[in-house]
């Protein structure tokens, strides 16, 4: 009986880990606010709500993730992260496009493949926070994105160079620039 219970526990663990290995979530913004720079003035704004996908991919699929992961894995930090139940994963974000007007199923698939290939170029190595062998939360610093695969997210877009620019150049270089903070929910699909 103990062997049967152990086998069932192992099987459940393998299923959970397989589910967390590579997955895709649909994320829908509920609120999006921030600032827009126009006419030498930062104007507070609310923005149109967006939808996007977050997809976990194999680290080896992305040169960016692979090289960052290798340098982290070989550093002293890897022991600290392991003790804190922090792993790393490679993630891409893709906008949700309306493909209902596609001429054929083939053109719809081609559009989806193009989006994924384009997203691979911007892949991010992200910290994964685990608890009791379950993925709790993911934080992607270079995307300013923190999310639960089936739960809440927050995302920011900032113009980090604006304070380093000569004040006279701001109006021409950053006209229409936006800094945003968005919150919403993700659902695994």
Between 78 and 46, the more confident residue is: 46
The whole-number pLDDT of residue 172 equals: 55
Is 155 domain-assigned? yes
Q: Pick the closest to residue 23 from 133, 138, 111 (CA basis).
A: 138
Residues 15-64 have pLDDT tens digits of 444 445 678 999 999 999 998 887 777 889 999 999 999 999 998 878 77
Cα dihedral 7, 9, 12, 14 sign: negative
Is 6 domain-assigned? no
Count of structural domains, the chain:
1
Whether the pTM exceeds 0.75: the reply is: no
Is 169 domain-assigned? yes
Is 12 domain-assigned? no
Q: Which domain holds residue 137?
A: 22-188
Is 1 domain-assigned? no
The whole-number pLDDT of residue 28 equals: 96
Residue 12: band (very low, low, confident or very high) from pLDDT cuts 50, 70, 90: very low
In percent, the amount of the chain with pLDDT more than 90 equals: 31
Is 37 domain-assigned? yes
Is 14 domain-assigned? no
Strand 24-38 relative to strand 145-147, pairing: unpaired
Residue 69: band (very low, low, confident or very high) from pLDDT cuts 50, 70, 90: confident
Token reading at 28: 């829908």
């Amino acid at each position: 009986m103990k062997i049967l219970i152990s086998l069932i526990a192992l099987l459940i663990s393998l299923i959970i880990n397989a589910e967390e290995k590579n997955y895709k979530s649909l994320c829908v913004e509920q609120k999006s606010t921030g600032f827009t720079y126009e006419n030498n003035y930062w104007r507070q704004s609310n923005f149109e709500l967006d939808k996007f996908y977050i997809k976990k991919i194999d680290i080896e699929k992305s040169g960016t993730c692979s090289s960052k992961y290798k340098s982290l894995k070989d550093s002293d930090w890897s022991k600290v992260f392991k003790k804190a139940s922090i792993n790393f994963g490679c993630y891409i974000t893709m906008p949700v496009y309306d493909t209902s007007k596609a001429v054929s199923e083939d053109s719809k698939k081609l559009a989806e493949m193009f989006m994924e290939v384009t997203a691979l170029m911007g892949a991010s190595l992200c910290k994964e926070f685990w608890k009791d062998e379950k993925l709790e939360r993911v934080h992607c610093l270079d995307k300013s994105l923190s999310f639960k695969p089936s739960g809440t997210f927050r995302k920011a877009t900032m113009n980090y160079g604006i304070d380093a620019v000569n004040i006279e150049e701001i109006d021409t270089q950053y006209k229409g620039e936006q800094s945003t903070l968005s919150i919403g929910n993700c659902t695994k699909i």
